[in-house]
Amino acid sequence: MRQTGGEPAASPGAAGESSGRLGGPKVATGSPGCAGGTQAGGGAGDDDRGIDWDECRALFAGAWGTMARFADLLVTDGATRGLIGPREGPRLWSRHLVNCVALVPLLPDRGAVIDLGAGAGLPGIVVAAMRPDLVVELVEPMERRVEWLREVVEDLDLGGVVVTRARAEELRGRRDADAVMARAVAPLGRLAAWGAPLLKHGGLLLALKGRGARGEVEAARNELHGCSLVDAEVLTLRPLPGIEPTYVVRARAGSVSRETRAVQRSRYHRQAAPKTRA
């Protein structure tokens, strides 16, 4: 059934449609977005009307049904529980789900990936659905968001996903990830101090940012260097025609000396908020 130019049903005849623990009526999936705070990518007036739904379906490929179900969960239970912004409904796909897909081709061929500050599950749930060959860890300190993430993972039957309630500092020395990704979590300098210690040598920091990404990179040059993150660049990607581009900051973890680790530790503790206890 062709749906070019119109919004798809929440579960458009694809696999991955299940009621699970999360309820709510079926609605059109041109809806909500990311959990709280700064939005990454997109413009103030963008919405899903510009999407070619045949191309969107092809972009998500085998994960289309899972993403339609995830969209339905976001606009129902996610909105009710405060995981998404109240005005994100008309631009859920263009501003958020498609925005997150831009990370997929940048990820390693195999290994472990951390979504730092996973919130409503963007980008972690999207990545897990698109790349089931990866081990995806959703790291989130807030209990209500952790509960949501665990329910979503169960509902979508995402077997390769681990949900961890923790702050980044609590994982120091306990993670050696191939990539750390984040969306709308913190300014780049602070994110570098949180994410770099969780990466193995050669691992990637991938940050979904807005139009000011290049300015953030320039402003954070000293912090990136201090965290031994090298080759920082801004990638401008457009997963689908007709929608705003996605901006991704990509940096690679270089060798870290003992002195640099001490600087990272000091910088992180200056920037970190009080711990959330489990």
Residue 140 belongs to a domain: yes
Q: Which domain holds residue 109?
A: 103-271
Grouping H, G, I as helix, E, B as strand and the rest as coil, residue 227 is coil
Q: How many domains does the chain have?
A: 1
pLDDT at 278 over 90: no
Residue 54 belongs to a domain: no
pLDDT one-digit tens code per residue, 63-107 = 999 999 999 999 899 888 988 887 887 789 988 999 999 999 999
- 84 Rama sector, left if φ>0, alpha if ψ -120 to 50, beta otherwise: beta
Instruction: Beginning with the edge strand found earlier in the chain, give each strand of the sheet holding 135-140 in spatial order.
Output: 161-165, 135-140, 112-116, 177-183, 199-209, 246-253, 229-237
Residue 12 belongs to a domain: no
**pTM over 0.75, yes/no:** yes
Residue 35 belongs to a domain: no
Residue 27 belongs to a domain: no
Please report, for the domain that includes residue 186, its CATH number: 3.40.50.150
Residue 37 belongs to a domain: no
Helix (H) or strand (E) holding 249: strand 246-253
Residue 81 belongs to a domain: no
- Determine the straight-line distance between the first and last CA of the chain, rounded to whole angstroms: 47
Residue 196 belongs to a domain: yes
pLDDT one-digit tens code per residue, 115-167 = 999 999 999 999 999 999 999 999 999 999 999 999 999 999 999 899 999 99
